Every structure is written in structure tokens, then in C-alpha cells.
Structure 1
Amino acid sequence: MKKQLTKSRDKIVAGVFGGIADYFGLDKAWVRILGAALIIFTGFFPGVLLYIVAAIVMPDAPTRSNTMDGHYRKKD
């Protein structure tokens, strides 16, 4: 299966930083801290604008529902 950049289901705001962490195999906490620092130190506007654009452009992570037998399957 091809690896795809998607928003994380483990969201704080929109799941962008969590999705980036999942994609690159990094710790979500560190990616969120680094992302927040970049937003703060770039003067808020450019960082917040890029975050909003990423939240709009990045697809949601595929959802899974728990079945009676304990296995997971994709929701249609």
C-alpha cells in the first residue's frame, strides 16, 4: 500500500502536525512543538495561513469501524 500524507485522527486542532508526524515516523509531540514554535516565531500570520491551507488540502485519514469479531474494516 502506498504511503499517503493525511491528517491524523489523533487531532489537537485539525490533525495537520499529527499527520506529518505519522507520515515521517516522528513523535507527534515534537512535531507539534516545532510547528507551534515556527508559527510563533514567523509572526503568526504566515504560519497560521500555511496551517489553514494544509488543513484544507490534506485529506482526512481513512476511518475504521470496529466489527463484532474485533477486527477492523474500512468504512464505506
Structure 2
Amino acid sequence: MTAPASRRLTRDSRHKVIAGVCAGLARRFGLSRNGLRLAFVVSCVLPGPQFIAYIALWVLMPSDRRGY
């Protein structure tokens, strides 16, 4: 049994800005795409592995391939 397409954790290739990671996470958890992007950018001023986490998600999350 697979999850519906809107509930899968995939990168959103239609609404992406860089890689679609924030858009995919926002779609999966029912959040605003721009709100999640803003939260990520604001969190970058705090110490932590934000960029490493973003790159890891970029590599690990499959693309939904709707935008091609």
C-alpha cells in the first residue's frame, strides 16, 4: 500500500526555487511553501547544520517529476 501522491515526502519539482526541498516538505506537512522557506532562511543565522540538512534532503528525497 502506498501513500497518496500529496502525502509522500518528495521534492516538489513544480514549485521549486532551488531544489524543491522546502516545497516538498511544506506539501507533505500541509504548511505554506513561502512560510517554510522563510523559516529556513531565518534559521540560517542560528548555529547548526541547516545547510547540511538541506543538502542531505536534496540528495535523499526523490523528485516527484511532475515538472518535467
Which of the five TM-score ranges fits, normalised by the shorter chain? 0.7 to 0.9
Q: Which runs of 4+ in 1 moved over 3 A?
A: none
Unaligned runs of 5+ in 2: none
Higher strand share goes to which structure? Answer: 1
What is the aligned length? Answer: 63
Identity of paired residues, percent?
Answer: 29
1:16 corresponds, among 1, 18, 21, to 21
Distance across 2 between alignment mates of 1:31 and 1:24: 10
Alignment of 1:51-62 (within 5 A): 51-62=54-65
Q: Does 1:29 align with 2:66?
A: no
TM norm structure 2: 0.79
- Ranked by relative contact order (alpha carbons within 8 Å, sequence separation 6 or more), the top structure is 2
Give the RMSD, CA atoms, in angstroms.
1.8
The structure with the largest alpha-carbon Rg is: 1
Aligned-pair CA distance for 1:64? 6.8
